[in-house]
Amino acid sequence: MGKSFVVGYRTHTHPHVRQILGVSFDPAQPLIIYEYLPRGSLRQHLQRRKGDHLLNDPIARLNVAIDVAHALIQLHYNSRFPIFHRDVKSSNILLDADYNAKLADMGIAVVVQSEADLDVAEPLGAFGYKCPVYEQSGRLDDKSDVYSFGVVLMELATFMTAWDTERTVTLLADLVIDRLQRGVVKKLIQPGNAPGGAALMKSLLLVAADCCSLDLNVRPRIDEVADYLERLRDEASEEAALAQHIESLGSLSLA
């Protein structure tokens, strides 16, 4: 590849955005080298093809969500120009050896350098994740990614796919919002093995429903979602520690 290969080529150096390590500009052998993330994609874990760690540990799922939220904060608000990903989905979220999540695949991302960049001729994105408001209007904003992120939150809480034609309600976003409104969402939840897992995942679905609201005034910004998820994690961690402490006291009394 010779001089056409650049090592250390960087786009974003954020801990939760997948890094490009090298690029070949050789027309005969174009190549992009990404960092390797050994635990594969979130979708593989949701499909139970990469073990049951996330299924069993709801706080680990919450950590994945927080990592992705911080990746989107970096793209939306901390880059030179705002960057809207447009393809946030479980297959574009990769996990390292410690289950830290990184957002990948910026192939259809839009860099917003002027107001004109917000109007897109073709609203690209994945079925089941793409914001209906953006799809119908062709108008892009930071909350378009928030809708997609909300669907990922629903996947994390339920281990269901973003869409399934064999379900009575095809889109997961529609299904979860319907079940929340009817008060029967508990049947969808995968609580895991941690104490309070069901309540934690229901809280995740409640914020996910706001993320998927068709009313942009209701839908929060991603930094607001991240703040909420971090508070939720702090509360869950405290409750888990208390439950473990109580269990240890019980063990001592039986000794």
Q: What's residue 195's pLDDT?
A: 84
Looking at 1.10.510.10, 3.90.230.10, 3.40.430.10, 3.40.50.300, the CATH number of the domain 37-254 comes to 1.10.510.10
Cβ 147 vs Cβ 208: under 8 Å: no
Report the predicted TM-score, pTM, of the whole model to 2 decimal places: 0.90
> Residue written as tokens 């499909």?
47
Q: Of 67, 87, 141, 210, which one is the catalytic site residue?
A: 87
Cα 52 to chain centroid distance, Å, stands at 18
For the chain, domain boundaries: 1-36, 37-254
87 is catalytic: yes
* pLDDT tens, per residue, the chain with 255 residues: 444 545 444 555 789 999 888 888 888 888 888 899 999 999 999 999 999 999 999 999 999 999 999 999 999 999 889 999 999 999 999 999 999 999 999 889 999 998 888 888 788 999 999 999 999 999 999 999 999 999 999 999 999 999 999 999 999 999 999 999 999 999 999 999 988 999 999 999 999 999 999 999 999 999 999 999 999 999 988 776 666 656 666 655 555
Q: What's residue 9's pLDDT?
A: 46
